[in-house]
Structure 1
């Protein structure tokens, strides 16, 4: 038998370990570091607990994603799952909110990169850095320059080495403390002096950002050796490993920087913690590594968003003359790249990093709720003999994601709802026939 599959000639070569590694690379092993300060201030110091609670919600949801990937192996998007199992209108709304996520990712990368650059050159104002990074992302993408999979794997390896340095510095710092009490070690999990349930839930809703990207594994069904078995397992293992690693990373940071001490800059708080743990050298290494990682993520997400808008223009969801055109020279949707670059700059000047992350999670949590609901409806419609085994994890995922979604800030809920309503209006104006690409 040929190594190629019947679907487009793709080679079935990815085993379970390959799929999990792909998921970790997609999420990035340092995912909780950029958002650490925002969660710390929002959850009143309970970052570890927020990360672990978010992991529980994502594990339930990952079960639903795995099952949907088995049922619909030809596509791996929440938009497709919800549209097939719930309703085409619900699928469109899910896709529309995910469009917001695609646009917001380069925006928050622009904000974070600008803050990180100030750590190196504080004399240059934030607005200048924001203009620089928004223009840099846009120029590179207009030229059609893309990073290769080999570079992405190399970056993941470099970030892994950074994590090793961080943990080594943390152990060294702990060994030099005069006394370590059980209360000190447990404070990152629960500190009765600062605990607030409302703050913890909002912090958990932000911590979901740590796991964004695990669903991308479901797009590899045609390249997995045993897709029906390994895709669901890989999604679950990726969420679990990400949660454990993220909890360790923020645990050592919380030990070193108690909630009673303000950060010099909330957005880049983690790198300031590293200065306390390992001095100027570790500060420079972590700040530089995260800056490079966010530059790569910003460029890739901007081009991904531009291509999604291009597909929507080609399908008639958006005006074809603007969104559906490509540059003849670079073969990229230049209009869309320029538009997203302008939106990223405007957002970087108007939004805080915290608001950007919450808005991104608005769309992500809505999509996760849709996938859980799709899994429930499929099981009920098919009258499966093991109905409760299907329904219970998905119902738990639906309820936990809903709980986190309603605990986003009022401003994030308002802005996100305005975006969702605009999508509904577009769908109605175009005769309810508008579709979104998977």
Structure 2
């Protein structure tokens, strides 16, 4: 296999990688899902996001440790393979495929739904295919172009979020005075409880997949041992801060959890604080947010498939090959787009039900990988000590297991079925566990 087939190009800076992770997280998603999270928490949206942010920081730290030790594409799949065992790594990678396959689908489905609501005369599948076609072309052409497009569109998205917050504060100030701006009601009220907030946090965790996606760009990042751990923590911190802040101001405008339509609650609030003009701007921001997030999600999915194909866990000739001119895994990108077409036959809830199951499995096992590394690797013990190498990842694993128990039972059942299919594939690859799964040696990164 030629060098072109086995090496990605290093072109991404720390700033570009963080922006890519934030685009994956989609800052506007806190508004897109505001009504759903508010109903789950009974009017304590910022608390759910604060709890999730704190919980995810433990896991983000573990991701940083593993990305510094194993700077290669593949995310949790790579870390668990190297930190624990090849077979366990395969199962984690198989579980993560749920996230990476279904997240672009959900993103494109939501974007198409927004546009169809504004232009009902156009079938939603037309918008869906438009999203898929544009993002597939950008990602196939090259990660650098996709990152530039993401950077430009992220600016607009951040401006929409900023105006939403400012208009919310102005609305609350005009209606109830300055004291209302410091209310603690959005964090906790008579209707909310620890169990309802935990249920909301389990939903909110869906919004934090961006720091996992960052790791899939390791082999295209300059100085990844330094920049990827930084990008992971910055993505989690910045994204979490945006979610908490926007959730707080939005909950100030609309206390409680009663909406005409929870799925479009933010549109009602946008019109309340800025009339129809801002409602139109908000709609444009939401659609562009779905576009930028779709670019990042599809790129990350294709890199995970590339890592598994390069290991011959999936057919190497298809999944482990790069385009000779674009130096991107074009087959994987096109495949991800083709799978997205299935969204024509699904709704958002059906497609999204898998995502957090795979995420919590991956997050838990990356934390456990650090624990394994601490137990058997002397340099890891010496470098990180008990607190960073044992206590932090231990807390991260426990928190993710607790959040996993808060998921809808149907999501858990369907997730377990998916894992059973993965186990069957692993059994085939290892000839009944009589041999190790196929593996290639990753090049070390500077």
Q: Could you tell me the TM-score, scaled by structure 2's length? A: 0.82
**Which residue in the other structure is 1:317 paired with?**
313
Matches of 1:92 and 1:361, distance apart in 2: 18
Structure 2, unmatched stretches of 5+, are 1-6
Q: Any idea what SS the aligned residue of 2:175 has?
A: coil
Deviates more, 1:62-71 or 1:317-326: 317-326
**Which residue in the other structure is 2:359 paired with?**
364
* Per-residue deviation, 1:244: 1.4
Matches of 1:423 and 1:140, distance apart in 2: 31
**Which residue in the other structure is 2:418 paired with?**
419
Within-5 A mapping of 1:42-61? 42-61=40-59
Give CA-to-partner distance per residue, 1:168-204, whole Å, 9 cap, x none. Answer: 2112211210457669922210012x21433322210
Matches of 1:19 and 1:335, distance apart in 2: 23
**Which residue in the other structure is 2:232 paired with?**
235
**Which residue in the other structure is 1:38 paired with?**
36
* Per-residue deviation, 1:122: 4.0
Q: Contact 2:74/2:307 (CA < 8 Å) preserved in 1?
A: no
Matches of 1:18 and 1:316, distance apart in 2: 30
**Which residue in the other structure is 1:3 paired with?**
none
**Which residue in the other structure is 1:108 paired with?**
106
Q: Contact 2:38/2:256 (CA < 8 Å) preserved in 1?
A: yes
Within-5 A mapping of 1:4-403? 10=10, 14=13, 20-21=18-19, 23-75=21-73, 77-122=75-120, 128-129=123-124, 131-140=125-134, 144=140, 148-178=146-176, 185-192=183-190, 194-218=191-215, 219-220=217-218, 223=221, 227-228=225-226, 231-264=228-261, 266-298=262-294, 301-302=297-298, 304-305=300-301, 308-309=304-305, 312=308, 316-318=312-314, 340-341=336-337, 343-347=339-343, 349-351=345-347, 353-383=348-378, 384-385=381-382, 386-403=385-402
**CA distance 1:217–1:178, change in 2 (3 Å):** closer
Please tell me whether residue 430 in structure 1 is matched to residue 429 in structure 2: yes
Give CA-to-partner distance per residue, 1:261-299, whole Å, 9 cap, x none. Answer: 3143x3333233211111111111111111122134335
Q: Contact 2:45/2:200 (CA < 8 Å) preserved in 1?
A: yes
Matches of 2:203 and 2:88, distance apart in 1: 24
Q: Contact 1:110/1:345 (CA < 8 Å) preserved in 2?
A: no
Q: Any idea what SS the aligned residue of 1:189 has?
A: coil
Q: Contact 2:357/2:415 (CA < 8 Å) preserved in 1?
A: yes
**Which residue in the other structure is 2:3 paired with?**
none
Give CA-to-partner distance per residue, 1:114-153, whole Å, 9 cap, x none. Answer: 32113312455xxx30x22332244446765665322211
Q: Contact 1:314/1:324 (CA < 8 Å) preserved in 2?
A: yes
Q: Contact 1:206/1:358 (CA < 8 Å) preserved in 2?
A: no
* Per-residue deviation, 1:418: 1.0
* Per-residue deviation, 1:72: 1.8
**CA distance 1:84–1:303, change in 2 (3 Å):** closer
- RMSD over aligned CA atoms reads 3.6
Aligned length: 422
Give CA-to-partner distance per residue, 1:28-87, whole Å, 9 cap, x none. Answer: 333422222221222222211110111011111111111112222345611111111111
Q: Any idea what SS the aligned residue of 1:73 has?
A: coil
* Per-residue deviation, 1:223: 4.7
**CA distance 1:151–1:183, change in 2 (3 Å):** closer
Q: Contact 2:165/2:249 (CA < 8 Å) preserved in 1?
A: yes
Structure 1, unmatched stretches of 5+, are 1-6
**Which residue in the other structure is 1:4 paired with?**
none
Deviates more, 1:131-140 or 1:417-426: 131-140
Matches of 1:316 and 1:18, distance apart in 2: 30
